[in-house]
Amino acid sequence: MVFGAAGEPKNFDPIFNDDGESFRPIRQMFDTLITYKRGTAELAPGLAEKWEPNSDGTSWTFTLRKNVKFHDGTAFNAEAVCFNFDRWFNIKGAAAQSQMIYYGDVFEGFAANEGDAAGDPIYKSCEATDESTAVVNLNKYKGAFPAAFGLTALSISSPDALKKYEADSVQQSGDSFSYPAYATEHPTGTGAFKFESFDRANKTITLVRNDEYWGEKAKLDKLIFKIIPDENARKQELKAGTIDGYDLPSPADYNSLKGDGFNVTPRPAFNILYLGINGTNTPALKDLKVRQAIAHAVNREQLVKTKLPAGAQVATQFMPDTVAGYADDAQEYPYDLAKAKDLLAQAGAGNLSLKFYVPTEVSRPYMPNPTELAAVIADDLKAAGINVELVSRPWNGGYKDDVQKFGKHDLHLLGWTGDYNDAGNFIGTFFGREKPEFGFNDPALFDAISAADAVVDQTEHADAYKQVSRDLMSKFLPAVPVSHSPPAIVVSSKISGLVPSPLTDERFDTVSKG
Amino acid sequence: MMTLLNRKKRRVDELAESAGTSLAADALRRMARSPVAIIGAVIVLLFAALSVVAPFIAPKDPYRRYPELVDGLRADFIPGPMPGFLLGSDELGRDFFSRLLVGAQQSLFVGVGATLIGLVLGMLIGGAAGAFGGWVDSWLMRFTDIMLSIPSLLLAISIAALASRGSQTTVIIAVAVTTVPIFARLLRGAMLAQRHSDHVLAATALGVKRRTIVFRHMLPNSLGPVIVQATLTLATAIIEAASLSFLGLGDPDPDRAEWGLMLGNSQRWIDVRPELAFYPAIAIIIVALGFTLLGESLREALDPKNRR
Amino acid sequence: MLRFIVRRLFQAIPTLLVLSLLVFIWLRSLPGGPAGALLGDKATPEKIDALNKVLGLDQPLFIQYFKFLGRVLTGDFGSSLISGEPVLAEIGRALPATIELSLAALLFAIVLGIPLGYMAASYRGRFLDNATVIGTLVGVAVPVFFLGILLKQVFAQDLALFPPSGRQDVTIEATRVTNFAVLDGLLTQEWDASADALWHLVLPAIALGTIPLAVIVRITRASVLDVLNEDFVRTANAKGLQAPIVRRRHVLRNAMLPVSTTIGLQTGLLLGGAVLTERVFVWGGLGSLLAQGIERRDYPRLQALLLLAAVVYVLVNLLVDVSYAIIDPRVRTS
């Protein structure tokens, strides 16, 4: 099967990657300790059959699957697991550390921090108590566990191959990095497919079936990812039959693709688009009433119906309703122009002029076309009597700096795709600390979020986050949640068995072509 | 590469030589007999007229989102023609026909803006080179040679991309810069050709000041080829601006109704509503053709070879 | 003469230094740096600052410039932020792709353009001539990218006669020798690879070749008309030489001179159109490299492309100087 990818992978070492284009092939070649039930964000056994925390969540015991072999024929066991964890923790060089984005998010620090962004390490040690039992000890519990053990970046590599191909030697090369042979030519995991080649001239990644796979063997003997950066070209290649499917079809094409007999399958939406509000430059925005007026003024129902793909939903909180921590009874802000005007009048903000920052040259699953979405939102706000000036900035050319670093905006569009099923991955990321993006400093809110994050019991953990979410919607409203839109995947009618995942964690081992 | 550059220069210089050798009336008479010139002139006049009256004859407000259109929008659907909306909706629920009409104005603005800026800068450089001669001339011409040796679209792309943000002004400037060296060489060549012409020699002999000679005699008589080139440049300017929009380097303002931009934005919809791309594209082609036809027939009319 | 060339070469060094400084400062002053591009969507301002420090981007600009210069002089242009591959390797692979496409476009324009122009001239003033002339004017007025989209829509999507994009089908396992896909197939005797590469070339070559085609037709026509009016042709006709012989012996040969210089001129211009054509047909050449580099703000790649362009232009300039010096010895002493 040939699957159309939108971009080139950075490399194939899971730990040095953070983007979907790299993760797609990596997920076929590697396994994680914990994985997700196909098509959901629920945890399921991966390389570990069972996992058990101690009472305060600082020690995790993994009971490993037996008779698993890496692609190079070496055995997978508790020592191999600990080798991987120790490798990440002890890695040297600011270059290598700076590229371990997910490791940094989860474990926060290294044995010897060499970059500015790293903090105190969460990871303490790993013991292989017997052949198939690995115990990972932490300095502190975080809400991210155990879900974070399922992150693709934390996939388990063959210790032999890591050593043989000098996996740690990431070198700075000009303004960028160059990666060792392990990451470019010899990725060695336990997954259902093995690496064969990456033809940079023809832009194709070729994987072959791993006949020694521990689970059910892959149905395809060969899996090719063809990199086609242009969206329109991906569609035409599919129609021409030169590829069998591709990721993230443009919502504009759903109808025509379906009409031609292709299967467009939306993933369950696991993302959020929000209209951010920053009160630093326009103090009127610090008034809750004004922010509520903005929420009432935006006709999100119509926006979702007319500009987002079928299956998209209006967001009422800063996380999708499948996340533990979503509160059913949080305050909502339905479209109500009169109420918006009324609230603005009450706040004495009759003549508001706002700079609305919009990213260009970008398309994300949560915002397929930001310019169009912003135009619609700006139109709604104008109807409520707010003057809006649209300020466009290229995504990679200043937008994120202006918004996240300098906070030059009053309003802005941004969003997030969840990494794992935990409310902290959404709310904590957005509002867990003071950020120029939102421009407020509210220790009460920050404390509430970190307190919720520290609760070990899963039910209490979720309840604590529900309360935070309720407060966010009624007392703070630091932004307006806009929508959750389902990114889709499209395949020809000959392909069956591809299960879309909310985390974009699709595995091709169940796929067959016939 | 070397001969290539020389050829490019020579082509410009040939046009320059025709300066001052033709009388406007004579040229006009010859043009009136040419059907090509008439077609070109008609297209250009219609385009100019449309861009002036478009805002008044547009049946709907081109910037308003009409509820009846917005209602029919979907992520994968844009409503087609319906009563009151001749060509249906655009991607945001605005009247496509009205936007197409108003687009004439914006496209003309971009084309004329870029050409005028290029013309003024080019004439300053070329005029200075032609008037002063000597090392000023050789340095300025060296500069224009280097610019001429860069494919113009590549130059425009680099400028538009490296400007920190896209806007209509960026597009106009990026396109304008590529036309500067052509105008500069042209005017210089035309002025040099006249330096030894009888009337300039006569004026010099009579003791007329150099500035007066340049402004009264050399400049006005050099304008013929410059006008020809400006007409042809208008066509390429409009196409180049559209190309920049296609590459995503155009004006990001969603309100702006400009043909190149409309064409660039509607690529996503080519399967759903191909007209959204076709109408602006055809408008661009017709206008570019109009300016090309007019420019080419002007060039022919001014060409001394054709004055048999 | 040699001394003159050496002197001019040394004089080119400051020009190159100034150009490299300009390119460097320009790219550094743009908002959004390599760190943001490297870190992707999960980038936070803190992580970007930390990475900037790792990359040395927090140092004073002139120190950064000298480090950069030192690397460039040893041939290290850094790795692309997008692909992680050394930029020079990327450029080395993209260059043959662009050349291949440009050559194919040129070939299309020449093979079709010269006979068409000749025919138009032979039937001057008749329907065929008028149609050809109008055709050439329209050909120049159609934006390259729109023609590409149109061709792709009709011939690749609706009629499914040609592949819509790319240089070769993925199912073909071709050996790479020169990275000229057609040539590689011939060299390794992988005929199907060559045929497939040719098949992929058709639509992009037509899209890119249309403007040169229009220009070549017009020049050929004009040039043939000029020659037909020359005295020696009239004499040949008067002497009763048969028309085909006159044509072959005299007209075509003499008319080809301006045509060949036009072809040379068009070759340079093709590069601009190639950016658009490569974008439409997802052709992995220099144009794609540039367009993608701009969109993703791949600084190392843009730096290398701009610097190489600067070197090429300085060299061209030098060549012009040298040629002037050969023609006119007085230049050497000035």
Contact list in C for residue A179 (CB cut-off 8 A) is 84
- Angstrom distances, CA of residue C298 to CA of B90, B166, C81, C95: 33, 18, 5, 18
Residue-wise over C136-162: b if at least 16 C-beta within 10 A, else e?
bbbbbbbbbbbbbbbbbbebbbeeeeb
pLDDT of residue A102: 93
Q: Is the pLDDT of residue B4 over 70?
A: no
pLDDT in tens, C52-103: 888 888 888 889 899 889 888 888 888 888 877 889 989 998 999 999 999 9
Give, as one character, the DSSP assignment of residue A354: E
Answer whether C264 touches A (CB < 8 Å).
no
- Closest chain B residue by Cα to residue C138: B289
CB nearest to C55's CB, from A2, A105, A172: A172
Indicate yes or no: CB of C143 within 8 angstroms of CB of B277. no
Reading the block at residue A115, the tokens are 């970059």
C50 Cα to chain A: minimum distance (Å):
5
Least confident of A469-483, B150-164, C241-255: C241-255
Residue A333: both structure tokens together: 């802000």
pLDDT at C1: 73
Instruction: Compute the radius of gyration of chain B from its Cα atoms.
Output: 22
Going by pLDDT thresholds of 50, 70 and 90, the confidence category of residue B3 is very low
Q: What is the Cα–Cα distance from A90 to A87, expressed in whole angstroms? A: 5
Question: Among C302, C296, C113, which Cα is nearest to C215's?
Answer: C113
**Mean pLDDT (whole number) for B81-102:** 94
Cα A235 to chain centroid, rounded = 24
Angle between helices A458-471 and A443-454 (to 10 degrees): 160
Residue C170 and residue A202: Cβ atoms within 8 Å? yes
Residues of C with Cβ-Cβ distance to A398 under 8 angstroms: 30-32
The residue in chain A having the minimum alpha-carbon distance to the alpha carbon of residue B163 is A397
Q: What is the pLDDT of residue C327?
A: 63
C323 contact B CB<8A: yes
Of A356-365, C48-57, C225-234, the range with the highest mean pLDDT is: A356-365
Task: For A389, list phi and psi in degrees, rounded to 5.
Answer: -110, 120
Q: What percent of chain A has pLDDT over 70?
A: 100
How far is the alpha carbon of B111 from chain A, nearest alpha carbon, in Å?
23
Q: Output DSSP code: residue C313.
A: H
**Most distant CA pair in chain A, distance:** 72
Q: What is the pLDDT of residue B53?
A: 94
Using pLDDT thresholds of 50, 70 and 90, give the confidence band for residue A331. Answer: very high
The residue of chain C nearest to residue A404, with distances taken between CA atoms, is C45
Which residue from B6, B66, B23 is spatially nearest to B220, judged by alpha carbons? B23
- In terms of Cβ atoms closer than 10 Å to its own Cβ (0-12, 13-18, 19+), residue C41 is middle
Mean pLDDT, residues A24-41 taken together: 95
CB contact under 8 A, A177 and C84: yes
Answer left, alpha or beta for residue B209, where phi above 0 means left and psi between -120 and 50 means alpha.
beta
Interval C150-169: pLDDT, tens? 998 899 888 889 988 888 87
Q: In angstroms, what separates the C-alpha of C215 from chain B's closest C-alpha?
A: 13
Cα A460 from Cα A19, distance rounded (Å): 32
Nearest-Cα distance to chain B for A253, in Å, is: 6
Inter-chain residue contact C279 with B247, CB threshold 8 Å: yes
Complex-level ipTM beyond the 0.90 threshold = no
pLDDT tier at A74, thresholds 50, 70, 90: very high
Give the span between the Cα atoms of C220 and B231, in whole angstroms. 24
Contact B75 A254 (CB under 8 A): yes
Query: Which ranges in C78-190 belong to alpha helices (H)?
Result: 87-122, 127-141, 144-151, 181-187
Distance from CA of B55 to the nearest CA of C (A): 26
- At residue C223, φ and ψ (nearest 5 deg) are -70, -40
Inter-chain contact B235–C141, Cβ cutoff 8 Å? yes
C-beta neighbour count of A214 within 10 angstroms: 17
Q: Has residue C229 got a pLDDT over 90?
A: no
What is the structure's pLDDT at B2?
43
Q: How far apart are CA B86 and CA A243, in angstroms?
A: 39
- Pair type for strands A411-417 and A353-360: parallel
Euclidean distance between CA atoms A156 and C236, whole angstroms: 85
Which of A306, A368, A375 has its CB closest to that of B254?
A: A375
DSSP one-letter string for C250-301: IIIHHHHHHHHHHHHHHHHHHHHHHHHHHHHHT--SHHHHHHHHHHHT-HHH
Token pair of B244 as six digits: 């920049």
Give the Cα separation of A326 and A426 in Å (integer). 11
Give the list of residues 6+ apart from residue A42 with CB closer than 8 angstroms, or none: A36, A421
Residue corresponding to tokens 């000749």: C118
Q: How far apart are CA A99 and CA C268, in angstroms?
A: 41
* Minimum-distance CB partner of C268 among B4, B267, B285: B4
Query: Distance between CA atoms of C277 and C271, rounded to whole angstroms?
Result: 10
Residue B23 dihedral angles phi and psi, to the nearest 5°: -95, 140
B248 interaction partners in chain C (CB closer than 8 Å): 295
What pTM, to 2 d.p., does this model score?
Answer: 0.88
Q: Are the C-beta atoms of A290 and A415 separated by less than 8 Å? A: no
Q: How far apart are CA A191 and CA A207, in angstroms?
A: 11
Q: Which residues lie below 8 Å from residue A435, measured CB to CB, with a gap of 6+?
A: A404
E-strand stretches of A70-203: 123-130, 133-138, 171-173, 176-178, 193-199
Average pLDDT over residues A274-278: 97
Distance CA A15, CA B271 (A): 40
pLDDT at residue B6 is higher than 60? no
Q: Which chains neighbour A (Cβ–Cβ under 8 Å, 3 or more pairs)? A: B, C
Structure tokens at A393: 């900035």
Q: Is B250 helix (H, G, I), strand (E, B) or coil?
A: coil
CB A457 within 8 A of CB A143: no
The pLDDT assigned to B1 comes to 39
Tokens of A488: 């889709």
Q: Identify the DSSP state of A327.
A: -
Rounded to 5°, the CA angle B114-B118-B124 comes to 150
Whether residues C141 and B270 touch (CB distance < 8 A) is answered with no
In whole angstroms, give the CA distance from residue A227 to residue A25: 12
B5 pLDDT above the threshold of 60:
no
User: Which one of B245, B267, B271, B273 makes the best mutation probe of the A interface by having the most chain A beta carbons within 10 Å?
Assistant: B271
Nearest residue in C to A3, CA atom: C170
Residues of B within an 8 Å Cβ radius of A: 65, 70-71, 73-77, 91-93, 164-166, 248, 252-255, 267-272
- Chain A's closest residue to B269, CA to CA, is A252
Beta bridge partners of residue A513, listed in sequence order: A495
Q: Do C36 and A11 touch (CB under 8 A)?
A: no
Confidence check: pLDDT of A225 > 60: yes
Distance (Å, whole) CA C274 – CA C285 = 9
Contacting residues of A for B270, CB less than 8 Å apart: 232
Which residues in C lie closer than 8 A to residue A239 (C-beta atoms)? 157, 164
Q: Compute the distance between CA of residue A377 and CA of residue A483 in angstroms, rounded to an integer.
A: 12
**Over A386-405, what HEC string results?**
CEEEEEEEEHHHHHHHHHHH
Q: What mean pLDDT is predicted for residues C231-247?
A: 68
Lowest mean pLDDT among A262-276, C102-116, C294-308: C294-308
One-letter amino acid identity for B155? L
| Interval A165-213: pLDDT, tens | 999 999 887 788 889 999 999 999 999 999 999 988 778 999 999 999 9
Q: What is the mean pLDDT of chain A?
A: 93
Residue C92 contacts A, CB cutoff 8 Å = no
How far apart, in Å, are the Cα atoms of A217 and each of A28, A70, B36, B227? Answer: 12, 14, 71, 73
**Least Cα separation, residue A309 to chain B (angstroms):** 5
pLDDT tens digits, A427-476 = 999 999 999 999 999 999 999 999 999 999 989 999 999 999 999 999 99
Residue B222 has pLDDT above 80, yes or no: no
Quick one: which of C191, C171, C256, C244 has its CA closest to C220? C256
Chain-chain contact of B8 with C265 (C-beta, under 8 angstroms) = yes
Chain B nearest CA to C170, separation (Å): 25
Cα–Cα distance for residue pair A165/A185, rounded to 1 Å: 9
The per-residue DSSP string of C201-229 comes to HHHHHHHHHHHHHHHHHHHHHHHHHHHHH
Q: Is the pLDDT of residue C322 over 80?
A: no
**Which residues of chain C neighbour B4 with C-beta distances below 8 Å?**
264-265, 267-268
- Higher pLDDT: A150 or B203? It is A150
Lowest mean pLDDT across A383-387, A458-462, B244-248, C97-101 = B244-248
Cβ neighbours of C267 in B, within 8 Å: 4
For residue B50 the two structure tokens come to 């449309």
pLDDT winner (highest mean) among B30-39, B76-85, B137-146, C310-319: B76-85
Please provide the size of chain C in residues. Answer: 334
pLDDT number for residue A186: 97
User: Does A101 contact C39 at a Cβ distance shorter than 8 Å?
Assistant: yes
Q: Quick one: closest CA in B to A258, which residue? A: B76
Task: Indicate the helix (H) or strand (E) that contains B236.
Answer: helix B219-246
| C residues 256..295 contacting B (CB < 8 A) | 261-262, 264-265, 267-273, 275-276, 279, 290-291, 294-295
| Yes or no, beta carbons of B292 and C137 under 8 Å apart | yes
The answer to whether C61 faces chain B, any CB pair under 8 Å, is no
More confident residue, B306 or A299: A299
Q: Do A401 and C36 touch (CB under 8 A)?
A: yes
| Average pLDDT over chain C, rounded to an integer | 83
H or E segment to which residue B5 belongs:
helix B2-17
Contacts of B89 in chain A (CB under 8 A): none
Contact of C288 with C278, CB cutoff 8 Å: yes
Q: Which residues neighbour A91 within 8 Å (Cβ) at sequence distance 6 or greater?
A: A97, A100, A110, A168
Beta-carbon count within 10 A of C331 CB: 14
Q: In this complex, do A232 and B270 lie within 8 Å of one another by their Cβ atoms? A: yes
* Cβ neighbours of B165 in A, within 8 Å: 392-394, 397-398
Higher-scoring residue by pLDDT: C323, A4: A4
Mutation target to probe the B interface, by most B beta carbons within 10 A, among A379, A382, A395 is: A379
